[in-house]
Every structure is written in structure tokens, then in C-alpha cells.
Amino acid sequence: MIQNTAILIFANSAEKDAERKSFLSADAIAALNKDTLKKVKKSGITYFHFSEKNQVGANFGERFSNAIASVFKKGYQNIITIGNDTPHLKTSHILKAAHQLEHNHLVLGPSKDGGFYLMGIKKAHFNKKAFVKLPWQTKLLNAYISKLSAGSNSSIAYLELLNDLDVQEDIATILESRFYINKEVLLILKKLFIFNKATFYHLEKSIESFLQPLYYNKGSPSLAV
């Protein structure tokens, strides 16, 4: 039931995330954080936000697993985890995951890079030691989790496939998508796309200018007599 479910927002502050994702500005990440929080609040489900200030662990797997374990210790039977880098995430995805957890051990919202933008999990299905060892932040993650669930006869449900923002090329992919994007996030992503495109153009022209003398000097240099 939804009253036994909590949402875990596992996302760093805008300043911290901008260090790791240099193709995004701190303003863009701040807008994504704001939009994510708005969607979570709209669901009416209790939520907890774990940023770098209260994450514990030496790597992503440890920090993520510790955050999940911490929320489970508060008495919840189900947890829905999300990040801040999926502009197309909707409140309906969260609510659908909550309802699907009533009949499944695990719910995954797969992302096109092989990971997931949302994961719902029951407390009885959470094995912290095994969880830490998953191939986090790789394209193998989703397939690996699905394979483990099938091997343990665990039921798993899937949401629709979405894109998240992991590399610069994802900005164009998301802007070209048919899905709705918050207006503030959309405006910032468009500005970043234009800026990145202009930067690439100038870099390309600079390289061409540098190489041009080499193109016209294909023979051996003449020797002065």
C-alpha cells in the first residue's frame, strides 16, 4: 500500500553534480532538482532526499545501498528510488511504480543507456550485500538486475523506456523527444544545446584553420642553396 511506501531522491546538489556533469550548468541541475521535487510532492508519497551531505560510502553502490537501507530502517516496506536527471519523468510514473509494487518484488523504469531512471523495491527483496556488488553506472545494470530477478523467481514490472542526462549528446535526444518537459528545464536545455553547438563549431573551425597550411604543403620542404 502507498502509505507503506517512501520515495528516495538520490541526487546531489546542483554545485556538486555540475562538477561531474560538466556539460550541464549548475542552473540546469538546480532546475532539474526543483522539477523532480515538484513531481514527487505531487504524488503525495512521503519522500527523503539524500544528497552528498548525507550519503555514506566509498563508491556509488555503497552510497546508494546505504541510503536505501536507511529509509527501510524507518519502517517502510517499499521504496521508490529516483534521481534528478530524467526530464521526462512524471508523477504518474511514480504512482504507477507504487501500485505495481503491491504485486511485484521489483519495478524498473529503464533508461536507454542500460541503467534505470526509477527503481521500486520491497524490503523483503533488498539484499544490501548483493546490491552493492551490482554493476552500477554501466550499461549492463538493467539487464543484470533483470537476470538476477529471473534466477531468483522474483516478479519484476517495467515502466516505459526514457532517456536521462548522462552525456552531452543526451541533451539533443531529449529535446527531440515527443515527451513533455517542464518549461524552465526546457529553456535551459535549449540554451545549453545552442551553446554547446556553437562551441563545437568554433572548435572545428579552429582545427581547420590550424591544419590548412599543412594541406597545401604536401611535398618536401625546399632547401635553400
Q: Which residues constitute the domain of residue 162?
A: 2-167
Residue 61 backbone class (left: φ over 0; alpha: ψ -120 to 50; beta: rest)? alpha
Distance CA 99, CA 151 (A): 24
CATH number of the domain that 25 lies in? 3.90.550.10
Share of the chain above pLDDT 70, in %: 85
Residue 184 within any structural domain of the chain:
no
Residue 216 within any structural domain of the chain:
no
| pLDDT at position 193 | 86
| pLDDT at position 197 | 65
Residue 195 within any structural domain of the chain:
no
Residue 48 within any structural domain of the chain:
yes
Distance CA 44, CA 135 (A): 32
Number of domains forming the structure of the chain: 1
| pLDDT per position as a tens digit, 8-17 | 999 999 999 9
Distance CA 225, CA 11 (A): 69
Count, in order, helices (H) and strands (E) of the chain. Answer: 8, 6
Share of the chain above pLDDT 90, in %: 69
